[in-house]
Amino acid sequence: MATSRLTTCLDDGSLSLPSEGTIALFGATADHDLSALPVDRCQVIQTFRPDHDALAARGFDCVTEPAGPYAMSIVFLPRVRTQGQAMVAAACAATPGGTLYVDGLKTDGIEPMLKACRTRADVRGQVSKAHGKALWFPASEAFADWTSPGPGRITDGYLTAPGVFSADGIDPASAALADALPAKLGQSVADFGAGWGYLSARILQRPEIAVLHVVEADHTALSCARANLEDPRAKFYWADVPGWTSPERLDTVVMNPPFHTTRNADPALGQAFIAAAARALKPAGHLWMVANRHLPYETTLAELFGEVSEVGGDGRFKLFHAQRPSRPRR
């Protein structure tokens, strides 16, 4: 891994760590270079389960909400602007009298963030490196208006939150999949990558369902799903789908799988979701899924299911129905 902006400015002494107290890492992922930090003094605030687990495995104390007060906070900017602003506001509130270090890629909006910070705070240092920038300043109350408005209702009354998938409305591809599902899905069903629970809500309209496993890696989205699915048949899992083990063999898996791990489309994640579905299903089970039209899932589906058909879609997405899973090994 190339030396990061954080390691560079700690190594050259332009930025220093506090001599005592906890250092918060807002939004740190498994891909960030944290090698210059003392692991036993850090607390990671991370709501995405795979990153949360990967950093916990490296010895970091990982939580989903800031606990504070912190001696210093390091903020790794996410892609969604309002989410990044909310992180800065939360970090400032949790770091009274301490330093805030904000780091991000140009493509994730670090330039406008830098500009905004200069007008609101006393910026003490800055570094540019590897298509990104970082800056640091004493935590300030001047960012309080960036505090996240928190979850809100969209049309149809569903609760969503800033930064979760399709936060502003129902995803058209998911709506098409929900409309294409048969009247009967069996008794035991799972929604993989359930988001704030749209597909799950549509699935639970079927009275014959005995249990619906709602599996989602984004803690914030799953909290919205809990609020949207007040139904005792729904069981919630904050989990990484490829590593999740179903407590029972399933009649049906429904999913609109994620199509990128970072900025770029990554079919491997969707393929791992298909393999997880094949593992979880009964021999007579069914997979219903929707995918962006350009993503190559046909080969994986054909390898892991005896019967696959494309049952609809449009120029942007395609709907699949797959049967006779071959139960791949992990």
Ligand X SMILES: C[S@@+](CC[C@H](N)C(=O)[O-])C[C@H]1O[C@@H](n2cnc3c(N)ncnc32)[C@H](O)[C@@H]1O
Q: Is 240 in the site for ligand X (CB under 6 A)?
A: yes
Residue 51 lies near ligand X (rule: CB under 6 A): no
Asked whether position 174 contacts ligand X by CB under 6 A, the answer is: yes
Helix (H) or strand (E) holding 101: strand 99-105
The window from 125-133, 211-219, 295-303, 310-318 that contacts ligand X (CB under 6 A) reads: 211-219
Q: Is residue 267 within the footprint of ligand X (CB under 6 A)?
A: no
Q: Which is nearer to ligand X, 199 or 204 (CB)?
A: 199
Residue placing its CB nearer to ligand X in the complex, 50 or 78? 50
Smallest separation, CB 251 to ligand X (Å)? 18
Residue 171 within binding range of ligand X, rule CB under 6 A:
yes
* Residue 250: other Cβ atoms inside 10 A: 25
Q: Which of 195, 270, 285, 325 binds ligand X (CB under 6 A)?
A: 195
Token pair for 299 = 């080969």
Question: One symbol per residue from 129 to 168: x for binding ligand X (CB under 6 A), - otherwise; what is it?
Answer: ------------------------------------xx--
Residue from 198, 288, 317, 320 that binds ligand X (CB under 6 A)?
A: 198
Our finding on whether 223 is near ligand X (CB under 6 A) is no
Q: Interface with ligand X includes 194 (CB under 6 A)?
A: yes
Residue 272's CB is within 10 A of a number of other CB atoms, namely 17
From the list 68, 84, 104, 258, which residue makes contact with ligand X (rule: CB under 6 A)?
A: 258
Handedness of CA 104, 256, 162, 71 (dihedral sign): negative
* Residue 25 makes contact with ligand X by CB under 6 A: no
Provide, rounded to whole angstroms, the least separation between the CB of residue 170 and ligand X: 7
- Note whether 218 binds ligand X by CB under 6 A: yes
Q: Are strands 188-192 and 211-216 parallel, antiparallel or unpaired?
A: parallel
Amino acid identity of 110? I
Tell the burial category of 276 from Cβ atoms under 10 Å away from its Cβ (0-12, 13-18, 19+): buried
**Of residues 36 and 272, the one with the C-beta less far from ligand X:** 272
Find all residues with CB under 8 Å of 267, minimum gap 6, and list them.
Answer: 259, 295, 296, 297
Measured distance between the N- and C-terminal CA atoms of the chain, rounded to whole angstroms? 28
Q: How many residues does the chain have?
A: 330
Q: Which of 92, 94, 135, 217 binds ligand X (CB under 6 A)?
A: 217
Nearer to ligand X, 30 or 130 (CB): 30
Asked whether the CA dihedral 172, 178, 181, 187 is positive or negative, the reply is: positive
Cis bond leading into 69, ω under 30°?
A: yes
Q: Are strands 159-160 and 211-216 parallel, antiparallel or unpaired?
A: unpaired
Residues found near ligand X in the complex (CB under 6 A): 50, 165-166, 171, 174, 193-195, 198-199, 215-218, 221, 240-241, 256, 258
